Amino acid sequence: MSMALCLQPKPSLYFKSSLFAGSTGMAQFRGVVKQGRVQDVFHGVVIGKCKRYHNSSANALRQTQPFSLILPGAESTNLARESTGIELGNTLPSSHEILGSGMIILKNYISLKDQVDIVNICQKLGMGPGGFYQASYRSGVKQRLHRMCYGRNWDPETKYSERYRSDGSLPPPIPDELISFVQTAIQDAQAHLNSANEIPLMCPNICLVNFYTTTDRLGLHQDRSESSDSLKRGLPVVSLSIGDSAEFLYGHTYTEDENELSKVVLQSGDVMIFGGKSRLIYHGVKTIFPNSAPPPLLQRTKLRPGRLNLTFREY
Ligand SMILES: O=C(O)CCC(=O)C(=O)O
Ligand SMILES: [Fe+2]
């Protein structure tokens, strides 16, 4: 990647760099949510079921119902792809917030135009083979979140061990422009840190795409399915937020008491990066704030209410 690219204050998705092929990794959910406080806080994900494996074809068939990011009826208008005359220029300046060693938020980093493009990429891939689905556990319980993977299959039960998804599909590759975007974001983050080593550069080879409706949550967990080498080196997780804002909770030790966790609001356009000493933070999404997405994004994409989140990792 050229330095010119790295110095872009808001890198465009259309600056392409070399494609990094390969395999990849993801989240390890803590299997302790029970009737009690944590479930009250994080009632979106069935964390306690994660130990069981699944792959029944009955589940697979149920999982393949298409899920559109776009409001029902809006797809046919094709507004997402046409110029509507809606002003997309960002008015808010970018800034950053360091949350700890190896953990940073680049605020308002993704331009509105790129947010629109990312929604369109995810909509296109999300409706195709390997697109959005609700993973289900062997017990038959489905995750509430709609999710898909790029680059390599990750599933809350089988982690990275199954190349194919339980519905027989393979995840599409990570689009080149997203790989380039993520690497530029890491380099921009490094420039804000005391030492660039706090967050090592990585070549993402997996991306998990989550869509949260306004009532979805994500329970407290660590992302630790990636290779021991990747975790040992502290290769970062890079997380992009688009759509409604979210309250993100995190801490370095597991707790069932929400008050012991730190909180931060992730808004549309923010990029959060956690690597190095923060690579194994416990984290979760407590709340999605309805009606908080930028109006021009909604007008341009017809994104349904909720939040799109992409997390990139290197296996
Ligand atoms: O939605 C987010 O901000 C976090 C997603 C996440 O933690 C994950 O997919 O592992
Ligand atoms: Fe995570």
Asked whether residue 18 is assigned to any structural domain, the reply reads no
Residue 54 assigned as binding residue: no
Q: Which of 24, 160, 238, 239 to mutate to test the pocket of ligand 1 (most atoms within 8 A of CB)?
A: 239
Print pLDDT tens along the chain (315 aa): 333 333 334 556 643 332 222 233 334 443 333 332 222 223 222 222 222 223 344 444 444 678 999 998 887 554 445 545 566 766 678 999 999 999 999 999 999 999 999 999 999 999 999 999 998 777 888 888 999 999 999 998 899 999 998 888 999 999 999 999 999 999 999 999 999 999 999 999 999 999 999 999 999 999 999 999 999 999 999 999 999 999 999 999 999 999 999 999 999 999 999 999 999 999 999 999 999 999 999 999 999 999 999 999 999
**Tell me, what's the pLDDT at 4?**
31
Considering only the C-alpha atoms of the chain, give the largest distance between any 2 of them, rounded to a whole number of Å: 53
Asked whether residue 17 is assigned to any structural domain, the reply reads no
Is the separation of the CB atoms in 102 and 278 below 8 Å?
yes
Q: For the residues of 68-113, what is the DSSP string, one character each?
A: -SBPTTTGGGTTTTS---------SPPEEEEEETTEEEEET-S-HH
Asked whether residue 150 is assigned to any structural domain, the reply reads yes
Cα–Cα distance, 50 to 159 (Å, whole number): 10
Cα–Cα distance, 252 to 228 (Å, whole number): 19
Cα–Cα distance, 246 to 225 (Å, whole number): 24
Asked whether residue 88 is assigned to any structural domain, the reply reads no
Is the separation of the CB atoms in 218 and 38 below 8 Å?
no
Find the 224 Cα to ligand 2 centroid distance in Å. 9
| Closest ligand 1 atom, residue 239 Cα | 3
Asked whether residue 6 is assigned to any structural domain, the reply reads no
Asked whether residue 130 is assigned to any structural domain, the reply reads yes
Cα–Cα distance, 253 to 248 (Å, whole number): 15
Asked whether residue 9 is assigned to any structural domain, the reply reads no
Cα–Cα distance, 26 to 33 (Å, whole number): 19
Residues in the chain: 315
Cα–Cα distance, 164 to 152 (Å, whole number): 9
**Tell me, what's the pLDDT at 88?**
73
Asked whether residue 161 is assigned to any structural domain, the reply reads yes
Find the 76 Cα to ligand 1 centroid distance in Å. 31
The total number of structural domains in the chain stands at 1
Question: What CATH number is given to the structural domain containing 71?
Answer: 2.60.120.590
Q: Which of 311, 312, 313 to mutate to test the pocket of ligand 1 (most atoms within 8 A of CB)?
A: 311
**What range defines the domain where residue 45 resides?**
23-77+93-313
